Amino acid sequence: MDAITERELGSGTEYGAVASLAERLHGFRSLGDNCEFGFVQRYGGVEPSGLLRFAYTPMEDLIRGLRCGFEDLGAPGDLHLSVSQGGTFYCHSRAYNIWANTGQTPDSITPETLLDREYGRLAHLKRKMLDELATGSHIFVRKVAQDEPQVDFDRLAEAVWAHGPATLLRVTEAGPGWRPEPVRWAGDRLIEGRVRRFAPLDTAWETDLEPWMHLVDSAWSLVRGVPATDLGEGAFQSAMPLPGGLRRHAGRRREPGFHGFTRMVDRAAFDPQAIYTFASWVWIPEAFSGTRIQAAAGYARLAGLDADLTRRDCWQKVWASGRLTHAEREPVGLAMIGSRRDHFWSAGARFVRGPIPEQGQTPHWPKPPKPLSLGDLLARLQARLG
């Protein structure tokens, strides 16, 4: 298929919902725990600086640091480097047990140069965080596990508010039954909201992005007294027209393996800084024996949701977001791991400029036809032969 440029689709607009979400994401700061909220901001298309954005920070050490304004953070001898299992340098503050991923590898920089840089960076970010706490200009986010005592969060709130009128957002898990719901006031300068699940501690990049986007938008709307962003049908501008009708996707090989049902698009036709999302409704037959159905929005996947293979004979949405920066031609569409015995159906495909798929109710697509049995085929043949 010939690539379609964004200029043909009106790239001069402000991308309403995209711009709104990005602006709101800039107004939040992480209070540690792990790096999950930092990845939420990245997958939303923003990269704000923050002392604890990509840092593991235990609650007790965080409270202690806030109470004294992190006075010993970055003092001589406080910081040291270690190499993680992933092969990157982590910088550790001995005074407050803060572990931060520097993103640097041992072959890209010397430890001496990196450590000197980290002392300067943390000194700047510490001053910046204390200023933001004092002015109340940002909403500070802290995740709370179900087994964490409420008294610990109350102590954290007291330590935050000792610096100024900052708003604190307490985030908990709702579980698989999560549905979009507004954030609520839980006290003066304290709001509460829920996401479906937290990312695993050791793989914080595996975020469940849609609930986080709803949470951020709702929190900003509540605190600032502005309307929520419309994330419904048509919220994000189309980046490429796609057929929206019912389509059947079947494996092509006898042995189980990867099968792509994608279009290869020219990356030069798209903004390399923008995030794009492909989403589609899929229907998995009861007899499907494959192990995965997924979406693709380029090779550099940021976030997404694969099909839930436990849900059969019903419509469900799959999606993936990414930047088109990896290769000259990038895949957009669906894929499965299975064999030629496997197939599934899709409908309502959309490829948009935005970090998540448009939100809405399950559409009333028709139930896909069931494959004919051998008996049905024989009966039809006999009818034709008369």
Please give the pLDDT value at position 318: 98
**pLDDT of 383 higher than 70:** no
Mean pLDDT for 276-283 is: 97
| Beta-strand relationship, 139-143 and 98-101 | unpaired
pTM of this structure: 0.89
> Tell me: the pLDDT tens digits for 8-55?
333 334 579 999 999 999 999 999 899 999 999 999 999 999 999 999
Find all residues with CB under 8 Å of 323, minimum gap 6, and list them: 272, 273, 274, 275, 276, 298, 300, 302
Amino acid at 67: R
Mean pLDDT for 94-120 is: 95
> Tell me: the pLDDT tens digits for 180-204?
999 999 999 999 999 999 999 889 9
Please give the pLDDT value at position 2: 32
Please give the pLDDT value at position 361: 79
> Tell me: the pLDDT tens digits for 131-143?
999 999 999 999 9
Considering the four listed CATH numbers 3.40.1000, 2.60.120, 1.10.3470, 3.40.50, the one that applies to the domain covering 232-386 is 2.60.120
Q: Which two tokens stand for residue 367?
A: 């139930």
How far apart are the C-alpha atoms of 152 and 148, rounded to whole Å?
7
**pLDDT of 375 higher than 60:** no
How far apart are the C-alpha atoms of 125 and 286, rounded to whole Å?
54
How far apart are the C-alpha atoms of 153 and 277, rounded to whole Å?
36
Binned at pLDDT 50, 70 and 90, residue 302 comes out as very high
**pLDDT of 339 higher than 50:** yes
Considering only residues 130 and 1, tell me which one the structure prediction assigns the higher pLDDT: 130
What percent of the chain lies above the pLDDT cut of 70? 92
Choose among 314, 318, 299: nearest CA to 357. Answer: 318
Q: State the chain's mean pLDDT as an integer.
A: 91
Mean pLDDT for 305-333 is: 96
Binned at pLDDT 50, 70 and 90, residue 63 comes out as very high
Sign of CA dihedral 196, 45, 129, 70: positive
Domain assignments of the chain as residue spans, ordered by start: 31-224, 232-386
Q: Can you name the residues that pair with 281 across neighbouring β-strands?
A: 317, 347
Please give the pLDDT value at position 243: 86
How far apart are the C-alpha atoms of 270 and 300, rounded to whole Å?
14
How far apart are the C-alpha atoms of 209 and 143, rounded to whole Å?
15
Please give the pLDDT value at position 8: 33
Please give the pLDDT value at position 333: 98
